[in-house]
Amino acid sequence: MVVTLIIACEVGFWVLLALGLSLRYLARMPRTGAAVLLLEPLLELALLIVTAIDLKNGASADWKHGLAAVYIGYTVAYGHYTIKWVDGHVAHRFAGGPRPVRHYGLDRFKHELKLVLRTVLMVAVAAALLQGAIWYVGHDGDTASLKHWQMMSLRILIIHGVIALTYLVFPKKAPRRAASEAAARPQEKSLR
């Protein structure tokens, strides 16, 4: 049941996101679209409640409960960022908004570092939820799976940190066209 709810929450996230942005930009109903987007956290609250009820009803703590905690942590850390990112792309594509910013060089590394901080938040939320579940199950129950998910989330953080460092060691270079446009902009300003 927990896995089904995780899948439903993920599908629901994207359905609400598509509906909210469609109302906002295609139907020209920005307030209604924003209201739909504000329903997103209710999905994670429902998942948290169902997971707690499942454990309370005597289900053994296993990988499903660990996955639910990591999913909630991910949504807390990246949910708003994902909505904002998609919103920027939809605004550009359908509402004449500015082109989303692309990051290169040291700027790309700084951007990746900010994402790593989001991953730290994800791991902290997941670890706290998992620890709460471990305490809830107690010494009598099998909590090895929950502890495994705590370690798994730390591995995710380490891998993400290493990937971010590669952008410092091997900086992503701007395409020639973007680099030549950026180089031309300061000269245009100096001519004015």
Q: Chain-centre distance of CA 48, in angstroms?
A: 17
Residues 133, 69 contacting (CB under 8 angstroms): yes
Among 92, 68, 79, 82, CA closest to 1: 68
Which residues touch 135 (CB under 8 Å, ≥6 apart)?
Answer: none
Out of 64-73, 82-91, 139-148, 152-161, pick the least confident: 139-148
DSSP assignments along 106-162, one per residue: HHHHHHHHHHHHHHHHHHHHHHHHHHHHHHHH-TTS--HHHHHHHHHHHHHHHHHHH
Report for 25-34, 65-74, 153-162: range of highest mean pLDDT:
153-162
pLDDT by residue (tens digit) across 104-115? 999 999 999 999
Using the predicted structure, report yes or no on whether residue 185 has a pLDDT greater than 70.
no
Amino acid at 13: F
pTM comes to 0.79
DSSP symbol at 39: T
